[in-house]
Amino acid sequence: MCHTIAELDAAVADCFACPRLVAWREHVAREKRAAFRDETYWGRPVPGYGPDDARLFVVGLAPAAHGGNRTGRMFTGDRSGDVLYAAMHAVGLANQPTATHRDDGLRLHGVRVTSPVHCAPPDNKPTPDERDRCRHWLATEFDLLAPTVRAVVVLGGFGWQALLPVLADAGWIIPRPRPKFGHGAHVQLAPADADRAPLHLFGCYHVSQQNTFTGRLTPAMVEQVLSTAARAAGLDVAPPPFDAPAPPFN
């Protein structure tokens, strides 16, 4: 049982529940990428990052082998994080546009970044069993932040599918049929419990190189979703950029 986000983060970082992922994260940490051979890899589960009274969640997929698994912080030290934190900074959710290591001074304003799977998986693909085994950590994170959280941005279809049952466990009603993922998808979830508030759920293409290098996802598109979601959550941020193609928010 975790009663605070600090307790949760410590417990997540000490989890060994998935044998395949434990072996992989430690293998990567031993072998390293040549460019980082002088660094000591984290090689453990990567907890969420951000304040414990966040109004907005950003939910990804899982840490990258040489990103979060190396640095010990979500989206830190990889190209995906470069895009995400630059966009957060542009709209006023981060104090700086870069995230290179855990002591780089990055501070997030009103937003917490997390993922449904906390260990780096081979080929960035956790199994359904691993996803389900990790689910309780994210449900606890939502439970602890329920007094303040009002919106979620989900990066990619995997995170969307993984998050819906978590939100059902954590006290929100998931409509039937289930809302579909898409860039710009938006649905407001009604609370199932008296101590929950309505929750805005937004979809955004994942900030992976596969999307950003091909132009499928531009920085302005990320900023637009983040700004819209942050405003829905009651955060005082910059308005969405006007040069981004408008997603089909509904």
Residue 22 or 238: the one with the smaller Cβ distance to ligand SF4 is 22
Name the segment binding ligand SF4 (CB under 6 A); options: 1-9, 74-82, 117-125, 147-155: 117-125
Q: How far is the CB of 244 from ligand SF4 (least distance, A)?
A: 34
Is 18 a binding residue for ligand SF4 by CB under 6 A? The answer is yes
DSSP 71-118: HSSTT-SSHHHHHHHHHHHHHTSBSSS---STTS---BSSEEEE-S--
Site for ligand SF4 contains 45 (CB under 6 A): yes
Q: CB of residue 81 vs ligand SF4: minimum separation in angstroms?
A: 19
Would you count residue 118 as binding ligand SF4 (CB under 6 A)?
Answer: yes
Distance CA 104, CA 113 (A): 16
Report the C-alpha gap between 169 and 184 in whole angstroms: 24
Would you count residue 134 as binding ligand SF4 (CB under 6 A)?
yes
Stretch that binds ligand SF4, among 113-121, 146-154, 196-204, 217-225 (CB under 6 A): 113-121
Binding mask 61-80 for ligand SF4 (x = CB under 6 A): --------------------
* Residue found by looking up tokens 């009603």 in the block: 173
d(CA 44, CA 80): 19
Query: For the chain, where are the E strands, in sequence order?
Result: 56-59, 111-114, 151-155, 186-189, 199-204
17 in contact with ligand SF4 (CB under 6 A):
yes
Is residue 101 a contact residue for ligand SF4 (CB under 6 A)? Answer: no
Query: How far is the C-alpha of 188 from the C-alpha of 70, rounded, in Å?
Result: 36
Options 28, 113, 117, 189; binder of ligand SF4; rule CB under 6 A: 117
φ/ψ of 155, rounded to 5, equals -95, 100
Binding site for ligand SF4 (CB under 6 A): 12, 15-18, 21-22, 45, 117-119, 130, 133-134, 137
